[in-house]
Amino acid sequence: MATPVATAACLVVKVGSSLVTNDGRGLDHAAVANWAAQIAELRRAGRNIVLVSSGAIAEGIKRLGWSARPKAVHELQAAAAVGQMGLVQAYETAFSKFDLRTAQILLTHDDLADRRRYLNARSTLRTLLALSVIPIINENDTVTTDEIRFGDNDTLGALVANLIEADVLVLLTDQPGLYTADPRKDPAATLVRTARAGDPRLEAMAGGAGTSHGSGGMLTKVQAARRAARSGASTVIASGREPDVLTRLAAGEDIGSALIAESATLASRKQWLADHVQLAGRLTLDAGAARALARDGKSLLPIGVVAVEGEFERGEVVGCFDADGREVARGLVNYNAAEAARIRRRPSSEIEAILGYVDEPELIHRDNMVLLR
């Protein structure tokens, strides 16, 4: 089967730190030039490309003369600030040789969690693509903390794919693709050529940590594929060490692992809900409530909530989890955390007696909810 890249009009391409740096010793300018050349060829063929690139922190560490990646957040932020200058400069120089303009976009979770900023980011990216500009996106490591950071550029790539409704997300790594087991530990492991994005068995196959120069492993790529599938984008996980991997994928060559999006595409508002990486709180549901949401598409009533966690306000996004800790749905909650805790396990008819008022009979209305399973 031909790769989904072959028919894609709009692609998000993510390259990891190991593919743009010399084993953490700053940027590999020859590698950057190679990515620019391949993307330029795809652009000449009329395809829209958004590039998500790691490498800023590694470049910053080199420029600052540090021998190892620091652990302190403020030092990582400083390295990102210094290294981002070199990363953008390298891409600008490489793409200019093909008469292509570039744009730098730095994002945090807050940019996409806020509905207005989400729509603004989408409008900006679509405008840049219409102008034949290559957007180069990275997480804004200079200001992010553990509470708001995406955590890896695989997730960021999936969020961007959803944001612009791309056809395909290409995750380039230093591995040939997804294997049935960790090939370093299991000699019988085989490469997964094609599978359904979101298949729960894929997470069991995926390995753990990546290299010391990046934060993503195969598990984050599988999870990113599941996230991207919600907007209809398939994902290809392939080795960035393969010569001309992007142009060969575009020509239809079967390289790496193709995780195909088969679920129905979410509406824009529900896609925004699904894309929240950070939740304001979580609600644990009894079996009946979890079934009513997942199977019947019902609203969430207070009586079905077993436990309330977090400090959230009315209108924030909270997750709904079953008894086994699996997230069933998420949505905009109608009551704050203290109120939700008081009315949990109680019928909606008692809300007014308990709180002294009633805003809505539902804790989360189905119109403000997205199902995840």
Q: What is the mean pLDDT of residues 149-156?
A: 78
Q: Report whether 276 contacts 317 (CB < 8 A).
A: yes
Distance of alpha carbon 227 from alpha carbon 231, whole angstroms:
8
Residue 214's pLDDT band, with cuts at 50, 70 and 90, is very low
Distance of alpha carbon 315 from alpha carbon 334, whole angstroms:
6
The predicted model scores a pTM of 0.81
Domain 4-270: CATH superfamily, name plus number: Acetylglutamate kinase-like (3.40.1160.10)
Q: Report whether 77 contacts 161 (CB < 8 A).
A: no
One-letter amino acid at 370 equals: V
Residue 219 pLDDT exceeds 80: yes
Predicted confidence at residue 183, as pLDDT, reads 81
Tell the residue number behind the tokens 């009979």, with chain if given: 361
Angle at 315 between CA 282 and CA 227, to 5 degrees: 55
Torsion angle, alpha carbons of 323, 324, 328, 330, to 10: 70
Q: What is the mean pLDDT of residues 249-267?
A: 88
Q: What is the mean pLDDT of residues 68-84?
A: 89
Predicted confidence at residue 85, as pLDDT, reads 93
Query: Biggest alpha carbon distance in the chain?
Result: 70
Nearest C-alpha neighbor of 202 from the set 213, 210, 194: 194
Q: Report whether 40 contacts 95 (CB < 8 A).
A: yes
Element containing residue 104 per DSSP (H, E): strand 102-107
Residue 339 pLDDT exceeds 80: yes
Predicted confidence at residue 144, as pLDDT, reads 65
Domains 4-270 and 279-371 share a fold: no
Cα distances (angstroms) measured from residue 290 to each of 154, 155, 163, 295, 297: 29, 26, 28, 8, 10
* CATH architecture of structural domain 279-371: Roll (2.30)
Instruction: For CA atoms 127, 130, 131, 133, give the dihedral sign.
Output: positive
Nearest C-alpha neighbor of 136 from the set 173, 175, 86: 86
Residue 262's pLDDT band, with cuts at 50, 70 and 90, is confident
Predicted confidence at residue 212, as pLDDT, reads 36
Predicted confidence at residue 302, as pLDDT, reads 97
Q: Worst-scoring range by mean pLDDT, 93-107, 202-216, 217-231? A: 202-216
Distance of alpha carbon 134 from alpha carbon 128, whole angstroms:
7
Task: Give the residue extent of every domain in the chain.
Answer: 4-270, 279-371
Q: What is the mean pLDDT of residues 6-25?
A: 89
- The tokens for 50 are 């958004």
Q: Determine what percent of the chain is predicted with pLDDT higher than 90.
A: 63
Residue 24's pLDDT band, with cuts at 50, 70 and 90, is low
